[in-house]
Structure 1
Amino acid sequence: MSKRGFLTQEELTVKIGEGLIETIVVAFTDHYGRLMGKRVDADYFLDSVIKSGTHGCNYLLTTDMAMEPVPGYKYANWELGYGDFHLVPDLRTLRIADWLEKTALVICDLHNEKSHAMESIGPRSILKKQLQTLEADGLQCFAASELEYYLLENSYKQAFQQGYQNLTPAGYYLEDYHIMQGTRNEKYTSAVRRHLKNSGIDIETSKGEWGLGQHELNVKFAEVLPMADNHVVYKQCLKEVADAMGVSVTFMAKFQSDQAGSSSHIHMSLWKDGQNAFVGDQEFGPVKGSDLFRWFLGGWIKHVPDVMPFYAPTINSYKRFVDGSWAPTRLAWSYDNRTAGFRVVGSGASLRIECRIPGADCNPYLAFAASLASGLDGIKNKIEPPECFIGDIYAAAHLPRVPYTLAEATTLFENSEFAKSTFGTEVVEHYSHFFKTEQRAYDTSVTDWERKRYFEQI
């Protein structure tokens, strides 16, 4: 029998026969991390898709947020005719989509129609490539992503019609850890906890966060690929339940300039033979750990500038990196210190590294791939981390800072020999064009800020 919420092929067949499942969502993520795909009749899924997959237009890996085909990609363009790629269901991800009526969901890998190899630029493909390196060394990676979001009383349609202005948060004072404000929002939060649990995602806690209407719902750690899958399902569930209830949630990294940003802190540890390989007897400041721990941490910190757009992929991502805002601004590590970009937490079997840099807008496959690749390079090259920092890292102006704009981060990524050797030149070129397209869209847009500042006064 499969884990609660997940389905084997045999269990799916039974549920379809009993009329309990009628639709299968066959999906993958685009570069932004959005679920794309098709809804498939359940019987057709059993008869065809489960064996042969299905097809999708390869323009989906070259579009912008508005679904416009963007010129300049080598992978797919008008000259090549925008052909298909192959969606191959990963049946290990087959689960009940509990928030939808009589629906199951399966996440797919993207394969080339001609060669049948995985599309190298697919976000899930990029993470799986790093897992091949990890597994060759006899290691496992366990991870968790802590997602934060804002809950608003407006529906998505109302927010759109209002131009996303004058929206009403679900709270009216800073509610960090407040039970009373959490109770006011429990109708929504309890629903998503229940739906996630019934969809195969183990729930830990939910709580108010530091912004007006901001919340965090934490799920249990898992192996890194299933964790990335869970992250995607989590966001889809929360958005669709909000939509059904006439409210909305946003995973923007910085929803309001005067409010806390929303993060996706990544917790990660390596395991070998059923044991946490970070555990050791060596002293690193206040932490005891192994050489693997030390070198993984060293590589992870060192390569942040090389892979920053995989942690912070949008213009808005960089509005979050403000001193004194709970978001990291400096590249340093410390033990249980929330001013650090890298916060080491736990001890013994729970010892792990928390990277506080990614925002809630990250694509989890890319963020996990960047984290894992950086740490593994640290182990390979025995990269030493800096000294453990004790104190307020926001006040430590001498420490190197995170890139503060998407343009800066994209330039570093595009020119990074580490990124090219790790992910491949094709991937770096493709994603550099993607991030530049996002930057260009912003640079050519006239904003409300400009009108308010210049309309009369200039």
Structure 2
Amino acid sequence: MSKVPEWIVQHPAGKVKLAIADIDGVLRGKYVSIEKFEGVAENGFGFCDVVFGWDMNDAAYDNSVFTGWHTGYPDTLVQLDMATIRKIPWENGVPFVLGDCAIQENGAHFICPRQLLKKITAECYSSGFAPFFSQEFEWFNFEETPQTIEEKNFTNLKPLTPGMFGYSLLRSSYRNDFMEALFSQLAQFDVPLEGLHTETGPGVYEAAIAYAEIMDAADRAVLFKTAVKEIASKLGITATFMAKISESLPGCSGHVHQSLWNADKTINLFYDEQEPDHMSGLMRSYIAGQLKCLPEILPMVAPTVNSYKRLVEGAWAPTTLTWAVDNRTVALRSLPAGKKSCRLETRVVGSDTNPYLAMAACLAAGLYGIKNKLSLGQPPTKGSGYSEKQYGVLPANLGEATSIMKKSALAKELFGENFVAHFTATREWEWKQYAKAVTDWEKRRYFEII
């Protein structure tokens, strides 16, 4: 019997949209006919492995062992996950399906972000825990098109609204058509939101995606970023998920919320009503694991050069290896209020992350703490986390962070040598592109006076 639902076979569009996430979390894909889809739904399809051999601007890596000119960029087998089928409401209900690299001898699955998260998730379930996650995003919106942005050379762009209007009902009503489109169409796309509001900054929105088991949560987060951009474009708006758009404005976060439940998903194992702060021993070990691992896996939650422009003091993003209960200046914010809502918020994560890798990093680090029975000996931060540097600070830039991860035995233990080698090579490439670029800052500083 065909794996393809009858409604897809009968869909008047006559096509299906397929996608796979690359190392940066960018969705790469294609449309296929219904006839073609009936075959690939069962057997998968070949997709050029260059999607793991080039950067987000389609420039081929010169340091990739897995694929490159030396391999001829062959196809890799992509297996579709039929559980991810949904309709695209802003494309007249065209069917959409996510996939990932099938397990094969060529080893593509070792570097596929979605496959990596599957691997970490399986380890979690085998340990008796059900992981529930969610990601929230902040992003800037501009009344621009790709063409006008290019014409303006990415300068003097018109924000959707002016001024600093965090949580503003006034500003959210200004482009209520956009707010309404996001809330309703994302829900129809099976990316339900718990909340949507303006954040501080011109044209900044923040959305919290509904909690779900980790694979669903990651799929939703990946689809959210692309969906927001597509919905925005229909209304003459361009959305950006850069971590830091301007040195004078706050950065954009992609905080990951997480909790572990028992195997039948009825009890939140992070909550202990007998403890004064309601944090269980399991949650404490999970937090200890993240504090231990974060410095060695930071590129997975801060993957771009721009990520580190956000991680500066006094800009609503953490800079130190700290934790506390309900404190927005620390790296790890514990929220143990209730039996169902008790969770950890990892605040290092920016909006520019690949959700599959960010969630894999958070979960693997937390499980490391549980597996190794790490004790949360570090006391919670009182007051500002920016000044509490005695427990360590985060690496200052992508080059430094990548060098640490590349040499880390811990990173290789968590994610495997093949993934670490490929991923750090891609981050080295990203750093090299930045290092050779001449910036506007350099011209303004040196052009006349030096």
TM-score computed with the length of structure 1 as normaliser: 0.94
- Check if 1:64 corresponds to 2:55: yes
Contact between 2:3 and 2:42, CA under 8 Å: does it hold in 1? no
> Which has the higher mean CA deviation after the structures are superposed, 206-215 or 116-125?
116-125
The code of the aligned residue for 2:259 comes to: S
Matched residue of 1:119: which SS?
helix
User: Equivalents in 2 of 1:116, 1:445: separation in Å?
Assistant: 35
Deviations 1:88-120 (A, max 9, x none): 1000101111122341111101125x5387611
Match of 2:351 among 346, 349, 360: 360
Contact between 1:299 and 1:374, CA under 8 Å: does it hold in 2? yes
How many Å apart are 1:186 and its aligned residue?
1.6
- Check if 1:51 corresponds to 2:42: yes
- Check if 1:259 corresponds to 2:249: yes
Aligned-residue identity in percent: 33
How many Å apart are 1:15 and its aligned residue?
4.6
Partner of 1:407: 399
The code of the aligned residue for 2:316 comes to: W
Match of 1:97 among 88, 93, 97: 88
Partner of 1:348: 339
Matched residue of 1:130: which SS?
helix
User: Equivalents in 1 of 2:107, 2:125: separation in Å?
Assistant: 19
Match of 1:318 among 308, 326, 341: 308
Could you list the runs of 5+ residues in structure 2 that have no partner in the other structure?
A: none
Matched residue of 1:275: which SS?
coil
Q: Residues 426 and 333 from structure 1, CA distance in 2 versus in 1: closer, same or farther, beyond 3 angstroms?
A: same
User: Equivalents in 2 of 1:107, 1:303: separation in Å?
Assistant: 30
Match of 1:13 among 6, 10, 33: 6
Contact between 2:16 and 2:95, CA under 8 Å: does it hold in 1? yes
User: Equivalents in 2 of 1:165, 1:277: separation in Å?
Assistant: 49
- Check if 1:194 corresponds to 2:184: yes
User: Equivalents in 2 of 1:244, 1:157: separation in Å?
Assistant: 14
Partner of 1:3: none
Match of 2:220 among 226, 230, 242: 230
How many Å apart are 1:14 and its aligned residue?
2.5
User: Equivalents in 2 of 1:44, 1:186: separation in Å?
Assistant: 40
TM-score computed with the length of structure 2 as normaliser: 0.95
When the two chains are superposed, the root-mean-square deviation of aligned CA atoms in Å is 1.6
Could you list the runs of 5+ residues in structure 1 that have no partner in the other structure?
A: 1-7
Contact between 2:321 and 2:389, CA under 8 Å: does it hold in 1? no
- Check if 1:447 corresponds to 2:442: no
User: Equivalents in 2 of 1:146, 1:231: separation in Å?
Assistant: 8
Partner of 2:19: 27
Matched residue of 2:156: which SS?
coil
Contact between 1:109 and 1:118, CA under 8 Å: does it hold in 2? no
1:291-440 matched pairs, under 5 angstroms:
291-345=281-335, 346-385=337-376, 386-440=378-432
Match of 1:271 among 242, 261, 278: 261
User: Equivalents in 2 of 1:72, 1:339: separation in Å?
Assistant: 37
Contact between 1:143 and 1:227, CA under 8 Å: does it hold in 2? yes
Q: How many residues align?
A: 445
The code of the aligned residue for 2:161 comes to: G
Deviations 1:237-259 (A, max 9, x none): 11111222221010000011111
The code of the aligned residue for 2:235 comes to: M
How many Å apart are 1:332 and its aligned residue?
0.8
> Which has the higher mean CA deviation after the structures are superposed, 95-104 or 300-309?
95-104
Matched residue of 2:393: which SS?
coil
